[in-house]
Amino acid sequence: MNLELSEEQAAVRRLARDFVAREIAPHVVAWDRAEEVDRGIVKKLGDVGFLGLTVPEEYGGSGGDHLAYCLVTEELGRGDSSVRGIVSVSLGLVAKTIAAYGDEEQKRRWLPGLTAGEYVGCFGLTEPGTGSDAGNLTTRAVRDGDEYVVNGTKMFITNGTWADVVLLFARSTDAPGHKGVSAFLVPTDTPGLSRRAIHGKLGLRGQATAELVLEDVRVPASAMLGPEGKGFSVAMSALAKGRMSVAAGCVGIAQAALDAAVTYAGEREQFGAPIARHQLVQELISDIAVDVDAARLLTWRVADLIDRGEPFAVESSKAKLFASEAAVRAANNALQVFGGYGYIDEYPAGKLLRDARVMTLYEGTSQIQKLLIGRSLTGISAF
């Protein structure tokens, strides 16, 4: 693997850095306190091409490879994980999955709007009763003529209250094949679909997280994404790439923790010297730096495998597992460097830690990643 960035990749990273400095950094604390990022950011992300990365240009995408996608995701995560998550879901889990599995009509219907930031997408897999055990989901889609009638509840859905379309996973009646789950593209203004905002999150406060309730929602059969009964494979394939995106966001958190810790340690004086002069503070900083590099290399390897058409799902689990735990450690170490100031939100470390914590939970908890890695190594499923 070549670790040198190409001209194009370096330019995309510069673009992302400038975007974050201009459009995100000045608002981070206010958005976090208000529990909502400014919705106008979605259109701005679309205008600059960040919602179309890796999507073919004929559908409004901005092309680029998966390393470029990781670089942008890292920079967004460095700026604000709430904004990063909007992209990771609307592009990473929804648009990219439509690009991979959609028929021509579905691609033309949804991709130009999603990549332009005119539409927001959300990914509806988790339910109140099934999180890690997603394959046992209970939302049902019962065939009725040319339609399906869908009933069920989806929990913790990122972008949920904002979204124009939900990539919904439901058990469809008489579905042959894998566990009988099918994927559907459901406009969120479809009668019978209601949403409740979830407030009080520890982190990612700027993100619009929601519970979706579906009561006799009528969906045309043409809205099914991929073959009937193969929806669980669609979900797992979306999440395999999604985990790389979460990992890249975690690299951004850890890098932000490193930058903040180094700067503060150089400025803050105790015992007559900058705290950077004290060996145990240097230990905190060097631990963060090693976590940043290791997480970044694991993440870039996944991007490289995808771009070369090689299998990548297990490597993506490893990257997500390591990078999410590393981001928590890095943010916690940075908070320690800040001392008492780290505990208030005028300084960055506390928010980084709150945002990092969920990365070990969603898109498969750390335990679930270990079971996926363990299964690949032993050939034995411990699920």
Q: Applying CB under 6 A, which residues contact ligand FAD? A: 89, 122-126, 131-132, 156-158, 201, 204, 209, 358, 361-363, 365, 367-368, 371, 383
- How near is the Cβ of 159 to ligand FAD at its closest, in Å? 7
Active site residue 363: yes
Residues 50, 60: Cα–Cα separation, whole Å = 11
Nearer to ligand FAD, 48 or 122 (CB): 122
Nearest to 207 by CA among 199, 215, 219: 199
| DSSP, res 147 | E
Task: Write out the DSSP string of 180-216.
Answer: GEEEEEEETTSTTEEEEE----SS-TTS-EEEEEEEE
Nearer to ligand FAD, 159 or 255 (CB): 159
Which run of H or E residues covers position 151?
strand 147-158
Residue closer to ligand FAD, measured from CB, 77 or 124:
124
Annotated catalytic residue: which of 74, 75, 211, 363? 363
Pairwise CA distance, residues 245 & 120, whole Å: 17
Phi, psi torsion values for 275, nearest 5 degrees: -65, -20
Residue with tokens 């942008």: 72
Least distance (Å) between residue 96 CB and ligand FAD: 14
Judged by beta carbon, residue 140 or residue 201, the one nearer ligand FAD is 201
Least separation in angstroms between CB 99 and ligand FAD: 18
Q: CA 94 to CA 85: how far, in whole Å?
A: 12
Q: How far is the CB of 155 from ligand FAD (least distance, A)?
A: 7
Kindly list the catalytic residues: 363
